[in-house]
Amino acid sequence: MLKFDILTIFPNMFTGPLNESILKRAQDKGLINIDINDIRSFAQNKHNNVDDSPYGGGAGMVMKPEPIFRAVEDVKSKEGKVIFLSPQGKTFDQKLAKELAKEDHLILLCGRYEGVDERVRKEVVDEEISIGDYVLTGGELSAMVVIDAVARMIPGVLGTHQSAIEDSFYHGILDYPHYTRPRKYRDLEVPEVLLSGNHQKIDAWRKKEALKRTLLRRPDLLDEVELTIDEKELLNEIKEEMEN
């Protein structure tokens, strides 16, 4: 069971997204456990202040170190890994989601304002993760993104493990196109091969479409991924078709 401890000053932000659908079922089944901890309750000052103005002057406020140190010490376990959600961190991707899914205890620290006092970063944070090259108002949405992506990598969380394996990025390339009923909608037809019942042909079509998509939308991914001989041949075929 993977335990998530979220450290935030806005605990109410999490109640909706974490208590619906797959994440709710994963908690009910005991596959993950999520605790939301209010940093403010560790403030121990008259007005429960968690932020203060920056030394050296300048705009914005900074999250104070003491409540965060105390909150981390309160939830920390021997195997606990403290992750600070930060635009300055390592960019989150499927590979990192898979790695984090093997951990026992993740402590997700959500920043606000200008971020946290640098001493927090230096002393209590094990890893910084960014969810992309843009700046959000706080780390809460980032923590939810990380929890969602990590949780679905845990066997049993998704209905069929197969669906995670076929998703985009799992094998380093994008997913193939999906179709469902009706067979014809407003003159738009489902590709014939998917109705053929021939699973070999269907698999070959899907593999080719996935490679084609990756080549057209994210050619950078093909530089990283190790393709089989068959896949390399397929890719050459696609390139030739595109040239003609």
Give the residue numbers annotated as catalytic, written as ranges.
87, 114, 152, 167
Write out the binding residues for ligand SAM, residues 171-190 only, by CB under 6 A: none
Partners of 130 in beta bridges? 91
Q: Is 243 exposed, middle or buried (0-12, 13-18, 19+ CB in 10 A)?
A: exposed
Q: Which of 111, 117, 173, 205 binds ligand SAM (CB under 6 A)?
A: 111
Instruction: Give the nearest distance from C-beta 87 to ligand SAM in angstroms.
Output: 4
Partners of 91 in beta bridges? 130
Q: How many degrees, rounded to 5, is the angle at CA 193 between CA 191 and CA 197?
A: 130
Does 110 participate in binding ligand SAM (rule CB under 6 A)? Answer: yes
3-state secondary structure of 188: strand
Q: Which of 46, 56, 78, 135 binds ligand SAM (CB under 6 A)?
A: 135
CA distance 239 to 208: 11
CA dihedral sign, ordered 46, 9, 112, 105: positive
Q: Which of 122, 134, 186, 244 binds ligand SAM (CB under 6 A)?
A: 134
Query: Residues, the chain, total?
Result: 244
Does 80 participate in binding ligand SAM (rule CB under 6 A)? Answer: no
Instruction: Give the nearest distance from C-beta 145 to ligand SAM in angstroms.
Output: 8
Does 120 participate in binding ligand SAM (rule CB under 6 A)? Answer: no
Does 37 participate in binding ligand SAM (rule CB under 6 A)? Answer: no
Amino acid at 60: G
Please give the residue ranges that form the binding site for ligand SAM (CB under 6 A).
Answer: 85-88, 110-112, 114-115, 130-132, 134-139, 142
